[in-house]
Amino acid sequence: MTNVLTIAGLHSGYGPISVLHDISLTVSEGEITAIVGANGAGKSTLLLTLTGHVPPTQGSIKFLGKEIAGQPAHLAAPLGISMVPEGGRLFPFMTVQENLQLGAYHPAARQRLRETMEEMESFFPILAQRRTQNAGSLSGGERTMLAIARAMMARPRLLLLDEPSLGLAPVMVERVISLIDNLAKKKKLTVLLVEQRVAEALELCHNAYIMEHGRIVKSGTGIALAKDPQIQRAYLGLTD
């Protein structure tokens, strides 16, 4: 199976503060890969380093075989990497449609704006209903859907999702997780998902990496990790 993303020996951080230590992982084409771990483990920093918002201090990031470590953030979307940032970062005083249009800002995506917008509105019918409403007036679940759809407007090969479940009611978490699953299957997308909700992420993904204090401490299939007694004790609230 082709690796869309191959990270080797990656270190990064914020100035003198080092956060990621020797991260190595792969993301296979057409699969959902999850990075799970507690608050502050470094998951968002990893995504920000992949997109070029945080510069790596060491190591390699290969996207479709091309070295991209340290490249400027504005090149990520044209290359095929789109991110749904933590909290969605929508433009609350712009309409749903305007938020979607902004997702298609690079030239290749802009050429196919109408077609992609139709695809997204048919995949998320609620966004078509809310087309002229301001993003700030949407419910939490609708905002998450809009943030995902906006990232999809760039027509990515690799979709990065930073805690899409954040702040959602449990029933909405289930719904968003199943939408991500359907979207990945329907669009043959490769997804790298960062989550604190370990049980849900392990159920959704093919492979997962457990991150603690900026290091990968364990990896495996979602199914195997969900059955691992150490993971069950540390992350799933289960005891022997």
Q: Tokens representing 146?
A: 């809009």
Give least dist CB 211 to ligand ATP, A.
Answer: 7
Q: Tokens representing 234?
A: 């540390």
Query: Would you say 194 and 162 are in contact if contact means Cβ atoms under 8 Å apart?
Result: yes
Angle formed at CA 156 by CA 95 and CA 1, multiple of 5 degrees: 150
Name residue 25's beta-bridge partners. 7
Contact residues: ligand ATP, CB under 6 A? 14, 17, 19, 37, 39-45, 86, 196
Give least dist CB 16 to ligand ATP, A.
Answer: 9
Give least dist CB 109 to ligand ATP, A.
Answer: 27
- Hunting for tokens 């990496």 — which residue is that? 209
Give least dist CB 17 to ligand ATP, A.
Answer: 5
Torsion of CA 133, 187, 60, 48, to 10 degrees: 10
Q: 45 or 116, CB closer to ligand ATP?
A: 45
Which secondary-structure segment (H or E) carries 76?
helix 76-79
Distance between CA atoms of residues 158 and 30, nearest Å? 9
Q: 1 or 17, CB closer to ligand ATP?
A: 17
Give least dist CB 2 to ligand ATP, A.
Answer: 27
Give least dist CB 238 to ligand ATP, A.
Answer: 22
Q: 15 or 237, CB closer to ligand ATP?
A: 15
- Per DSSP, the three-state class of 226 is helix
Q: 96 or 191, CB closer to ligand ATP?
A: 191
CA–CA distance from 94 to each of 90, 134, 228 (Å)? 9, 5, 45
Q: 35 or 117, CB closer to ligand ATP?
A: 35
Distance between CA atoms of residues 26 and 182, nearest Å? 22
Q: 47 or 225, CB closer to ligand ATP?
A: 47
